[in-house]
Structure 1
């Protein structure tokens, strides 16, 4: 880690590698740029490049692990005008996805 870099937060019960696989399997790149995915990438949603450095999730909630998981569980409950659908993921899968997203610096 270089001088001045923030440590990567950990997500209890989350595995970033598994989260990367889930993001690919769920087709998140259809709407988002996902760094390192190697898949065709869409631009309907925001790029996820640098996600870990953002102050807010969906421009609404402070970017904390719990808030990220809360948003991923039901995006429209947090940001009613979002086009992002609620993924069909269980809590463990949501934790893995969150663990991956917080690695995107």
Structure 2
């Protein structure tokens, strides 16, 4: 979480990655992949395998954790 800023999290405020505000309203993940649940679930677990050279590391997590992160990110839309 420290790499990105989130609209509902005051601290920490990450600066390495982009803000995730309105992430659910974006068409692409990392500017390259379709922003769809199955693709996003894979991306949050193993971004380097999907976008070589990305700064986002592999994030070891269970299937349920990946589903939860995906659901959270996709609900982030402009109000």
The answer to whether the superposition gives a TM-score over 0.5 is: yes
Number of the residue aligned with 2:18: 46
**Structure 1 runs of 4+ off > 4 angstroms?**
none
Where structure 1 has 5 or more consecutive residues not aligned to the other structure, the ranges are 1-27
Larger Rg: 1
Number of the residue aligned with 1:82: 54
What CA distance in whole angstroms lies between the structure 1 residues aligned with 2:55 and 2:18? 11
Where structure 2 has 5 or more consecutive residues not aligned to the other structure, the ranges are none
How many angstroms does 1:37 deviate by? 1.2
TM-score of the superposed pair, with normalisation by structure 2: 0.91
Q: CA RMSD in A?
A: 0.9
Higher relative contact order (CA 8 A, sep 6+): 1
Aligned residue pairs total 77
Q: 2:9 aligns with which of 30, 37, 46?
A: 37
TM-score of the superposed pair, with normalisation by structure 1: 0.70
